[in-house]
Amino acid sequence: MDHLQKLEAHSVYILREAYREFKSLSMLWSIGKDSTVLLWLTRKAFFGHVPFPLIHIDTAFKVPEMIAYRNELCLKYRINLIVGQNTEALANNETFPGGLDRLACCKKLKTEALVNTLSGAWGRQRLDFETGALVPDKSREAFTGVIAGVRADEEGSRSKERVFSARDEKSEWDTASQPPELWNQYKTEFAPGTHVRIHPLLDWTELNIWEYIERENIPVIPLYFNQGDGRRYRSLGCWPCTKPVESEARTVTEIIDELKSGKFRNIAERSGREQDKEGGGTLEALRKDGYM
Amino acid sequence: MKRMNIVITGHVDHGKSTLTGRLLADTGSLPEGKLEAVKAMCAGNSRPFEYAFLLDALADEQKQGITIDSARVFFKSPLREYIIIDAPGHIEFLKNMLSGASRASAAVLIIDAKEGIAENSRRHGLLLSLLGIRQVVVVVNKMDLVNYSRDVFDRICGDYSLFLAELGVQPQHFIPVAAREGVNLISGSANTPWYTGKSVLEALDSFDDEQSLEDKPFAMSLQDVYKFTENNDDRRIFAGTPSTGTISAGDRVAFLPSGKTSVISTVEGFNTEQRFNAGAGEATGFTLETQVYVKPGEVMVKEGEGSIKVSDRFRANIFWLGSKPFETGREYKLKIGCAKTSVTIEKIEKLIDAQSLGKEADRKGIRRHEAATLLLKTSAPVAFDTFDANEPLGRFVIIDDYNIAGGGIILEALEKSSARKVRAYSKHEVELNRFIRKHYPHWECINIEE
C-alpha cells in the first residue's frame, strides 16, 4: 500500500469507529477541499452512503459560490444537510466588517453558532430534497460526536490534537489533559455531557489532500482554480478574511506541482487568512472555546 | 514516496524539541517566514531564540518552556516523508508521550550528555519495548556542554545499552549530537572527529519500512455490520480492516469466538473497480454467502487457519496511566481490536520497575506510571493472539472511568477457566441443538457439542 492508500484506510477506520460508537453523530462540512475529501472518505467507509447529517455553519460572509455548490451537491447525493447560523449577531451587526474585530467575529459567527447548533439550543435549518430550499429543522437533537476535517499541518494547536478529542459541557478543550490514544484505540467512552470531536484527517497534509483529489477524481468547488484572472483560493473561508492567492494553476495537477516544487512549496496554507495573524496563540484560544 | 512515523522521546529538558526544530530548519522543511517569525517573537519578548519554540505551539508550553503534548510535524528527506512526533518528556505528560509513541514505527531516544541517564530515559526505553517499537536510535545530546568528550559518550552508551539489553531492545545507532549547534544532525562534524557513524538524518533514513503483514495468516477484527437500505441497497456488509493476511471471494471463513462460519461472496468498495480480494491494512468490507449473526469485535479468520486463540485468560505486560490504580477485585473494560469485554486482574505476577526492573511482592494494584506482568481474566471468552505472532491482535487497552487508563501486550494465552458447568447431553439434545443452530442461526443458540 502506498501512503495515500494508508491514509485513506486509517481515516476510514476512524469514521467507522465513530459511527459504531456514537448514537448521535454528525459531520462538519465547510465546503472546502478538506471537508470534501472527508465526505468522500465517508462514502468510502459506508460503501456509497452518508449515514449521518452534515452540518454547515453559515456565517453569511461565505464566498457566494460556496453556498450554491453546497446545496447542489447535497441534493445530488441526497445528503442530509443541517445549517446553523448566529442570526442575532448578524442582525445586530456584531461582525467584521461591522462593529467587531476579526477574532471576536470568528467567535460570534463560528464558535458560538457551532456550539449552539450542535447542542440544539438554537434553531437550525435543513435542506429539503423536494424543494431544494432550507426549511426549519424540527429536531433539537444534540450531537455528541462531531467529525471535523482539521489537519495537523495547518497550524500549531491543531498539531496537538487527538483523533477523538473530548470537549466538556462547555465545549472547552483542555490541552494539558487530553486522553491517551494507544495504537488504533481511541476514546469512545464518555461521561454524559461530554461531546467528542473526531478528526480523521489529522495525518494528512495539504499536498496529500490534493494528491487524493487527483487520484480519486473528486469534484471540488472551482474557486480553487485560476479562472483566467491569475488568482485562485488556496483556502476557503469568509470573504472579508480570506484572500485569493496569485496563481496560474487551472487544474488539480497544476496545484500539486505548485505545492511540490512551485511557488507554494514553502508557504504555509493559511498565510492568506488574516485572523491567524493577530498575535500568537490566538487560534488556540479560539479552539479552546470550541472553534473548529 | 514512502512515509514513516518517528517518535522523539527522552527525559524533560534533554532536548527533544530542540532536535526536532533544528532538524526541520536544517532540512528546509519550515514554511517560509516561520523561523524569522519565531525569532522576531523571541526578540520582542527579550528572550533567547530556541529551536524548540518552532514546535511548542501551545501558549502554556512557550510560557513554561516545556512540551505538554506531542506535536505531529512533517518533513522530508530525499528518501522518505516523515511525521515526527515530538513527545513530552515530563512524567506528568507520560500519557501524551505514549499516545505519540504508539503511532510510531521507530524511535529516537535522547539523553543529555551532561546530566546522563535520567529516570525517564529508563522509563521511556521500557515503554518503547512494551509498545513493540524495535527500531531505536539513541542520541546523546548537548555534547558541546561536555567538550565533545568521547569518554562521556562511551560511558553513557555502555550503561544505557546494558539497561536496554535487559528489555530486549537493541539500538541500531548511538550518535553524539549537539542539537542546538546542528552537530551530527544532517552530516558528520569536525567537533567529533572520533565519531565516524551516521548522522541523525542518515540513521532515520536507514530504518526499515514497515513490513507487509500480507504474508501472515488472515485475521480481521470485525468493526461493524452495515445494512443501509437507502436507494434499495440490500447488501449486508461485514466491515473491517484486516490486520494480517489476504482473503478472496470464495474463501471459507470462521468468526471467533462464536465459531460461526460462512463463505466470502463479494469484496465491496466505493469508487473502485470490482475486486475479488483484500489484504492487511485495507479498510474494506465483505458480503457473505450465508447470513451469520455476529457482533463487532469477533475475529474473522480463514477456517482452520492461523494462530488466533480463544480464551478468557491470558498473561500480559501492561503499563498504567490512570489516576486511580489498576486494582485486583475491581472490574474494568478491556478492548482488543474492536472487541469489548469486562476484565479483572487474576494475579499480579511481578512489577516491572523502571528503576531496577526488580520485583515487589504482594501488590494489590498497579499505580500510575508503573508497568507489570499480570494474569487477566475476561468475563467472556475473546479472540486474540500473542503480541509476538500478531501485533494488532496481541495488544489491548483498559478503560477505567471512560478513559483509556492502561495499555498492554499479550505474552501468552492461558487455559479457559472451567467455570462453565460440564454436563452430558443426550444424543437427541445434541441433534436438536445442531438442527436449531443450522436453520435458525439468528436465535444465537450456543453450541453444546463444544
Residue-by-residue DSSP string for B85-125: EE---SGGGHHHHHHHHTT-SEEEEEEETTTBS-HHHHHHH
Chain A nearest C-alpha distance from B147 (Å):
35
Q: Check B333 against A189: CB less than 8 A apart.
A: yes
Chain A nearest CA to B216, separation (Å): 16
Residues in CB range of A234: below 8 A, 6 or more apart: A224, A244, A245, A247, A264, A269, A272
Mean pLDDT across chain A, nearest whole number?
A: 87
Assign B270 to helix, strand or coil.
coil
A277 contact B CB<8A: no
Q: B30, A266: Cβ pair inside 8 Å? A: yes
Contact of B44 with chain A, judged by CB distance below 8 Å, is answered with: no
* Residues of B (45-64) whose Cβ lies below 8 Å from A: 55, 57-60, 62
CA distance to partner chain B, nearest, from residue A65 (Å): 27
Query: What are the tens digits of pLDDT across the range A4-46?
Result: 999 999 999 999 999 999 989 999 998 899 999 999 999 999 9
Whether A183 sits inside 8 A of B237 (CB atoms) is: no
User: Is the distance from CB of B128 to CB of B169 less than 8 angstroms?
Assistant: yes
The predicted-structure confidence for B110-148, as pLDDT tens digits, reads as follows 999 999 888 778 888 888 888 888 899 999 999 999 999
B385 touches chain A (CB under 8 A): no
- Residue A271 has a pLDDT of 62
Single pTM value for the model: 0.85
Confidence of residue A237 (pLDDT cuts 50, 70, 90): confident
Spatial distance between the Cα atoms of B83 and A259, rounded to a whole number of angstroms: 18
Residue burial B368-383, b: 16+ Cβ < 10 Å; e: rest: bbbbbbbbbbbeebbb
Chain B contact set for A49 (CB, 8 A): 226, 228, 230, 233
If pLDDT is split at 50, 70 and 90, which confidence band does B27 have? confident
CB proximity A184 to B under 8 Å: yes
Which has more pLDDT, B13 or A82? A82
Burial B2-24 (b: 16+ CB within 10 A, else e): ebbbbbbbbbbbbbbbbbbbbbb
Chain B residue nearest residue A259, CA to CA: B31
Asked if A180 and B99 come within 8 Å (Cβ–Cβ), the reply is yes
Q: Does B232 contact chain A (CB < 8 Å)? A: no
DSSP 3-state of B292: coil
Residues B275-316 have pLDDT tens digits of 999 999 999 999 999 989 999 999 999 998 888 999 999 999
Q: ipTM value, please give it.
A: 0.90
Which chain B residues touch A203 with a CB distance below 8 Å? 72, 83
